């Protein structure tokens, strides 16, 4: 049975009641919970910490706007890159401190509880874990931010303090993580914070900060990068040695990977370090038809070309790989590719709002602009009780293994044994050949990441394909200082010219590309294929052609284009966000803005 801990959360909703305004000076005191009579027992501490839970919910569009996932949605980085003059007036999100107030409120009062010291330290550790994670998100966005380890009153002078340096804030962050790692207990109820979640998040953020400092010379912190890479190694190593986790692997490389993302019950899955657990009757996951029914998201050809061949060779080593068509692209590839993207011959069952309906899937190029369709995380089952009850994996053991391998490689300490105990276990699950310590360089990856060693390139590839659509890609590109890759317009399927094309792999044509100035025949006049099914017609032209319904790079041939212009990624400016102008007006000490923002 899944844990029913989230039912208890309704009992403590009032504990965290605050003003709707996020500014510190508008914060209301927590008189609603009677602070003087609360925080006395372990149950009090537990219930308050349950109220702080913010486990990410069902979301497989978190990579939208990256080189993995094109989108027509209003993604912040895309809006910034295409804007004529983004400023602190137009970029105003993220400066929200309510959560920190609630965390510090607890830490200031929890010591009055009459509980054993280890119990108190456990709950203090949970709160400090939350504070560290909160501040890491703030640092990733703003770099320098004011550090507060207390709640503020309206007459507190620290309301108007300036920002603390990134290096000082990050030091405090990892002090919090270290305390949490030492004191948060194991064996906690499913869905709550335990020692392994703390260590996994600590490793994730240490890898981020270590690599960010290494590659971002504008910070002038390169000489401290190894400190955080070492923390990442140590935290991941502790999980690997003591946590008892393992990759989910039943010996079915064609399905084991996808099972992680369409499981009704992840509570006993050995790979899951943290998950969001759902049951429709009590806590629905909010699953909806975004993958099959509207314009977002659209996986990219760049992602498709990142997957290896099934023999471990590079896709870019295949003759004419740039002009391979959809059916051929999926032949003899890493099995994770067909568990992530709809492949030729895939059958759609759960149509929801997808107009073409159920059956062997044929792309709707008027909707799914790239021609590639995501199935990772899509619940292809019409039973509402089923798809609303699918659990969402938040932290997987696979990520920990990838973190360990990358951090060791960045420290120039990675061995073949390390690879065999990390990435090659992941490859074993997928039925893929092992990675070697001295791989041949892939020219396509060398072009994308100039100056990076072939070993690190392959580790980055493995991370990309294993964790795709789980919300890592944007942060990865930012920490590797690879923002320029976002300038490349996302592309889709390749078509060598006008005419009829098979998209299901049965050798029978499914669609018909016609010139943009031609008329699509009436339904009764459309050609039928040998199966007796009407061909789907598309008017084909350049992206500026108002009559076209499918845009190709060269008008009547080439890769599908999903957007005309991704804009310009200004370095280093766009790796950061400005403090919103209205906050600067309230507290001028927050200035000046960093890295050219106004």
How far is it, in rounded angstroms, from Cα 474 to Cα 485? 11
Give per-residue pLDDT as tens, 65-96: 999 999 888 899 999 999 999 999 999 999 99
pTM over 0.75, yes/no: yes
Percent of the chain with pLDDT over 90: 83
Among 139-153, 347-361, 549-563, the range scoring the smallest mean pLDDT is: 347-361
Average pLDDT, the chain: 92
Give per-residue pLDDT as tens, 188-205: 999 999 999 999 999 999
Q: What is the DSSP string of 91-108?
A: -------HHHHHHHHHHH
How far is it, in rounded angstroms, from Cα 12 to Cα 460? 42
Residue 2 pLDDT grade (very low, low, confident, very high; cuts 50, 70, 90): low
Per-residue pLDDT at 34 exceeds 80: no
**Helix, strand or coil, per DSSP, at residue 289:** coil
Per-residue pLDDT at 32 exceeds 80: no
What pLDDT is recorded for position 295? 59
Any idea where the domains of the chain sit in the sequence?
A: 1-38+95-185, 192-287+380-437, 497-556
Q: 1-38+95-185 and 192-287+380-437 share one CATH topology? A: yes
Which residue carries 């939350």 as its tokens?
A: 130
Among 314-323, 369-378, 580-589, the range scoring the smallest mean pLDDT is: 369-378
Q: Which CATH number fits domain 192-287+380-437: 3.90.380.10, 3.60.20.10, 1.25.40.10, 3.40.50.300?
A: 1.25.40.10
Q: Specify the higher pLDDT residue, 435 or 298.
A: 435
> Which of 109, 75, 111, 107 lies closest to 93, judged by CA?
75
- Whether 411 and 229 have beta carbons less than 8 Å apart is answered as yes
Per-residue pLDDT at 12 exceeds 70: no
Residue 13 pLDDT grade (very low, low, confident, very high; cuts 50, 70, 90): very low
Per-residue pLDDT at 8 exceeds 60: no
Q: What is the rounded average pLDDT of the residues 268-291?
A: 88
Per-residue pLDDT at 587 exceeds 60: yes
What pLDDT is recorded for position 583? 97
| Centroid of chain to Cα 302 | 17
Q: Specify the higher pLDDT residue, 74 or 530.
A: 530
Sign of CA dihedral 309, 312, 317, 318: negative
Residue 33 pLDDT grade (very low, low, confident, very high; cuts 50, 70, 90): low
How far is it, in rounded angstroms, from Cα 428 to Cα 123? 39
Per-residue pLDDT at 294 exceeds 70: no
Give per-residue pLDDT as tens, 403-422: 999 999 999 999 999 999 99
Among 3-7, 230-234, 593-597, the range scoring the smallest mean pLDDT is: 3-7
How far is it, in rounded angstroms, from Cα 315 to Cα 167? 41
> Which of 385, 381, 352 lies closest to 367, judged by CA?
352
What pLDDT is recorded for position 17? 40
* 3-class secondary structure per residue, 255-319: CHHHHCCCCCCCCCCCCEEEEECCECCCECCCCCCCCCCCCCCEECHHHHCCCCECCCCCHHHCC
Q: Specify the higher pLDDT residue, 338 or 30.
A: 338
Q: Specify the higher pLDDT residue, 246 or 297.
A: 246
Among 7-11, 48-52, 140-144, 394-398, the range scoring the smallest mean pLDDT is: 7-11
How far is it, in rounded angstroms, from Cα 365 to Cα 64? 18
At a CB cut-off of 8 Å and minimum separation 6, what does 559 contact? 301, 491, 492, 493, 494, 552, 553
Q: What is the rounded average pLDDT of the residues 462-473?
A: 97
- Whether 570 and 580 have beta carbons less than 8 Å apart is answered as no
Helices in 442-566 by DSSP H: which ranges? Answer: 443-448, 454-467, 473-479
Residue 19 pLDDT grade (very low, low, confident, very high; cuts 50, 70, 90): very low
H or E, element range at 166: helix 166-183
What pLDDT is recorded for position 582? 97
Per-residue pLDDT at 453 exceeds 80: yes
What pLDDT is recorded for position 351? 85
Q: Specify the higher pLDDT residue, 246 or 27.
A: 246
Q: Specify the higher pLDDT residue, 435 or 365.
A: 435
> Which of 194, 201, 52 lies closest to 132, judged by CA?
201
Per-residue pLDDT at 220 exceeds 70: yes
**Helix, strand or coil, per DSSP, at residue 402:** helix
What pLDDT is recorded for position 193? 98
Residue 293 pLDDT grade (very low, low, confident, very high; cuts 50, 70, 90): low
Q: What is the CATH number of domain 1-38+95-185?
A: 1.25.40
> Which of 214, 92, 200, 176 lies closest to 141, judged by CA?
92
What pLDDT is recorded for position 6? 40
Residue 368 pLDDT grade (very low, low, confident, very high; cuts 50, 70, 90): low
What pLDDT is recorded for position 352? 80
Q: Tell me whether the omega of the peptide bond preceding residue 572 falls within 30 degrees of 0, making it cis.
A: yes
């Amino acid at each position: 049975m899944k844990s029913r801990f989230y039912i208890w959360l309704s009992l403590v909703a009032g504990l965290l009641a605050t003003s709707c305004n996020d500014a510190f000076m508008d914060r209301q005191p927590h008189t609603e919970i009677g602070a003087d009579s609360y925080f006395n027992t372990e149950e009090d501490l537990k219930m308050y910490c349950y109220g702080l839970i913010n486990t990410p919910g069902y979301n497989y569009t978190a990579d939208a706007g990256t080189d993995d996932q094109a989108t027509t949605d209003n993604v912040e980085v895309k809006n910034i890159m295409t804007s004529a003059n983004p400023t602190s007036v137009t970029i105003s999100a993220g400066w929200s401190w309510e959560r920190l107030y609630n965390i510090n409120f607890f830490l200031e009062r929890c010591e009055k509880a009459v509980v054993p010291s280890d119990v108190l330290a456990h709950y203090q550790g949970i709160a400090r874990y939350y504070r560290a994670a909160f501040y890491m998100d703030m640092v990733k966005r703003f770099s320098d931010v004011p550090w507060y380890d207390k709640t503020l009153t309206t007459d507190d002078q620290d309301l108007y303090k300036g920002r603390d340096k990134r290096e000082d804030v990050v030091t405090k962050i990892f002090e919090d993580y270290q305390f949490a790692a030492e004191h948060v207990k194991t064996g906690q109820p499913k869905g709550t914070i335990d020692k392994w979640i703390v260590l996994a998040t600590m490793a994730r953020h240490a890898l981020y900060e270590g690599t960010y400092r290494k590659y971002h010379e504008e910070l002038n912190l390169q000489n401290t990068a190894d400190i955080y890479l070492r923390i990442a190694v140590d935290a991941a190593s502790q999980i690997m040695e003591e946590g008892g986790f393992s990759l989910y692997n039943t010996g079915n490389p064609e399905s084991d990977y996808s099972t992680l993302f369409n499981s009704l019950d992840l509570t006993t899955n050995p790979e899951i370090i943290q998950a969001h657990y759902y049951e429709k009757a009590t806590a629905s996951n909010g699953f909806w038809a975004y993958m099959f029914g509207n314009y977002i998201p659209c996986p990219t050809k760049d992602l498709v070309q990142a997957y290896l061949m099934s023999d471990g060779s590079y896709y870019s080593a295949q003759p004419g790989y740039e002009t391979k068509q959809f059916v051929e692209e999926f032949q003899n590839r890493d099995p994770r590719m067909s568990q992530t993207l709809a492949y030729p011959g895939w059958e759609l069952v759960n149509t929801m709002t997808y107009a073409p309906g159920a059956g062997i899937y044929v792309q709707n190029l008027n909707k799914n602009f790239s021609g590639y369709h995501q199935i990772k995380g899509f619940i292809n089952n019409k039973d509402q009780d089923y798809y609303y009850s699918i659990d969402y994996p938040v932290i997987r053991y696979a990520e920990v293994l990838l973190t360990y391998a990358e951090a060791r490689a960045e420290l120039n300490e990675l061995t073949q044994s390390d690879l065999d105990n990390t990435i090659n276990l992941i490859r074993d699950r997928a039925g893929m050949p092992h990675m070697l310590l001295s791989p041949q360089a892939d020219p396509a990856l060398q072009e994308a990441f100039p100056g990076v060693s072939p070993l690190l390139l392959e580790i980055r590839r493995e991370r990309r394909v294993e964790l795709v659509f789980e919300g890592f890609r944007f942060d990865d590109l930012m920490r590797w200082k690879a923002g320029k890759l976002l300038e490349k317009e996302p592309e889709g399927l390749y078509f060598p010219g006008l005419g009829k094309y098979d998209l299901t792999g049965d050798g029978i044509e499914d669609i018909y590309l016609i010139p943009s100035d031609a008329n699509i025949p009436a339904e009764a006049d459309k050609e039928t294929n040998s199966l007796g099914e009407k061909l789907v017609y598309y008017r084909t032209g350049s992206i500026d052609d108002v009559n076209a319904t499918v845009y190709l790079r060269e008008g009547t041939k080439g890769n599908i284009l999903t957007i005309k212009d991704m804009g310009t990624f200004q370095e280093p400016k766009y790796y950061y966000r400005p403090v919103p102008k209205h906050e600067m007006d309230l507290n001028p000490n927050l200035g000046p803005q960093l890295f050219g923002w106004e």
